[in-house]
Amino acid sequence: MINIELTFTKGKITRELNGDYNIMLVVPKQEQSSMEPLNGLLNDDKLKACTIEHKKKKRSLNANAYAWALLTKIADVLRSSKEEVYFLMLKRYGQSTLVSIEDKVNEFGERIVDIFKKAIKYHEELGRSELNGKDFVHIKVYMGSSEFDTKQMAIFIDGIVSEAKELNISTMAPREIEQLKERWGR
């Protein structure tokens, strides 16, 4: 199986008389090494699949490792688990959304809210309400740091560093932390 990844910023879609579509992508010359294998792939008779999405900057493993090292030190000082501290930091510095779920059971007799809570690792129930005779449970859902983009991860690490300093835990120099952040996009 051949897997080719390209980056591009522009494209164009046209339609042929028979209704089929043509997709043209403007690929920068830096991707030249991918053109020959791509041409070979496009010219065989096998069915192909294509996924197009916005490219995100990848976090560096060093930044992620540093975050977890600080989380572990904070957990030691607080006599807690690093997972509990991680969730606390997600609550304070992470991304979240509020979901309201009708409190009812499915055809198997299971509460839908319970199924949802089991499927979502980082969440907390905020309350309940009634609307038009139906009961709802309001749940705050937190995005795990592996889903953060560069800016979100920077905010998360800055928060962890701030918490560590408040507990007199030594941290990297600000310049070193900035260098970690700069390497995320590389």
pLDDT score at 180: 80
pLDDT in tens, 30-80: 877 778 888 888 888 888 888 888 776 665 668 888 899 999 999 999 999
Instruction: Give me the residue spans of the domains in the chain.
Output: 1-55, 61-183
Both tokens assigned to 122: 């980082």
**Residue 72 vs residues 32, 61, 160, 167: alpha-carbon distances, Å:** 45, 16, 11, 13
- Cα gap 116→121, rounded to integer Å: 10
Q: In this structure, are residues 82 and 75 in contact, taking their beta carbons and an 8 Å threshold?
A: yes
Q: What angle in degrees, to the nearest 10, is found between the helix axes of 174-183 and 150-166?
A: 160
Q: What share of the chain is helix, strand, coil (3-state, %, to 5)?
A: 45, 20, 35
pTM: 0.64
* CB contact burial 49-72 (16+ within 10 A = b; e otherwise): eeeeeeeeeebbeebbebbeebbe
Architecture in CATH of 61-183:
Orthogonal Bundle (1.10)
Both tokens assigned to 20: 């089929």
Over residues 78-105, the mean pLDDT reads 94
Q: In this structure, are residues 135 and 102 in contact, taking their beta carbons and an 8 Å threshold?
A: yes
pLDDT in tens, 100-156: 998 988 889 888 888 888 889 999 999 999 999 999 999 999 999 888 888 888 899
Place of tokens 């701030």: 162
